[in-house]
Structures are given as structure tokens and as C-alpha cells.
A and B are shown apart, each in its own frame.
Chain A
């Protein structure tokens, strides 16, 4: 079974704080992702990484940065949290198989910025 573990399930942070969301996967997958889920907007890709130290912007990267120093770990950083970043954050990992790419998600981290 693929295991994607997000270190914090529920966080409450103040506006302007620096926030780290950590994610670890145990399947040696090349690709890792950070999504956020908001009602009516589905899952939107923030950043993804296809290799250690490699990263690419997703659809909504503004206000976020990422770090991937080791293959199994992918961190999402909010440099200065704002209330519009209150959301559910989902980490995922995948490899691209012969027919396509299947992403496996973690349990999610609920972030509230007050």
C-alpha cells in the first residue's frame, strides 16, 4: 500500500506567520505534489516536483514555495500566511506507469489562518 503521510492534520496560524507543511511518502515515487481543496473549486495544484531539488509551479503558486531535499519528503511553505490561504492542503505522490499517472494522496492538512 502506498503511504503518504502529512505531519499535521489541523493547524491554526496567525496572519503573517511562516507555515511549514511536511509530507513524506514511502513508495520511492519520483513525483510529489501539493494541492489545495476549496468548496466549489475542486483540487488545484500549487506546486509539484518530479525529482529531488526540482520543482515546477502549478496553477496557483502565488504565496507558496516548496522544498524537496530528499526524494521521500516534500514541504510546502507559506512565507507569510494570509486568511485566503485557509484551506485543506493535500500532498500526493506518483510515478508515471505504462498507461498513465496515478496520484496517491495523504490524509490532508486543515489550515486555518486567523
Chain B
């Protein structure tokens, strides 16, 4: 049972344009969401997060949007740069369920930013 889903395994975007990565979740107890970026042969690095009390969080070129009613979040990267080419993982956790420390990850989306 995949509670966090990233339905697009890959995405190709031209440099300078917007990259939009999508993530859906099924567990209504999830209240904290994160995006991680992963280069080959390296561990994932934390990118940006959002709490369920917000619907948007911005950090530089990265913005995460949360639509609780649709159980959907998205990561926008503007403008996209070649160095953004990586695999992006969406993750979620539920703070008040006794498993606050556990993150559930999606399967990842490989972003390729072309020149």
C-alpha cells in the first residue's frame, strides 16, 4: 500500500523554465511534508518542507504547495537550472500518531534539466 505516490517517474524541463513535481498521499493523518533531492551515489538532501497548517512555503527558487482537500502537494522550481537534475523524493509524516519520527517516502521523480 503506497501511501505517498509520485506518479511521474521522470520529467524533462528546459533550463530557465519552471519544473513542477507532483506528489499525492492517501493517509489523512499526514501533517508534515518534505521534499528531498538525490544525486546518484549520494544520500538524499533535505530541500524544503511544509506543515499542514500552511498551503505554501517558499525558499529561494523552490516553492512547495499543499492542497489538503485533494491530498496533493507539488514542488515548483523556478527557474530550473542544470544542477537541479536529480531524483526528487516526496515524504510525509504524521506527528500525533505515535510514529512522529517516521517518514514515508514516494518512489521519486527523476528531473532532467536540459540546456
Contacts and interface: CB of A to CB of B under 8 A. Distances in A.
Given A96-B95, A107-B42, A108-B41, 12 more contacts: A41-B107, A42-B107, A43-B91, A48-B102, A58-B102, A100-B49, A100-B51, A101-B95, A101-B100, A104-B46, A108-B42, A110-B41
A106 B43 contact: yes
Given A40-B107, A42-B89, A100-B49, A4 B102 contact: no
A31 B93 CA distance: 14
Interface SS of A by simple majority: strand
Interface in A27-68: 30-31, 35, 40-45, 48, 50, 58
Interface size class of B (residues with CB under 8 A): 20 to 34
Contacts of B42: 107-108
Contacts of B102: 45, 48, 58, 101
A40 B5 CA distance: 11
Contacts of B107: 40-42
Contact of A107 (B6, B43, B89, B106): B43
A30 B100 CA distance: 12
5 contacts: A42-B107, A90-B43, A99-B51, A100-B51, A108-B42
Nearest to A106: B43
Interface residues of A, number: 28
A48 B45 contact: no
A74 interface: no
B105 interface: yes
A8 interface: no
Interface string A86-114: 00001010101001111111111010000
Interface of A: 4, 30-31, 35, 40-45, 48, 50, 58, 90, 92, 94, 96, 99-108, 110
A22 to B, nearest CB: 15
A50 B93 contact: no
A4 B89 contact: no
A22 B31 CA distance: 31
A40 B46 contact: no
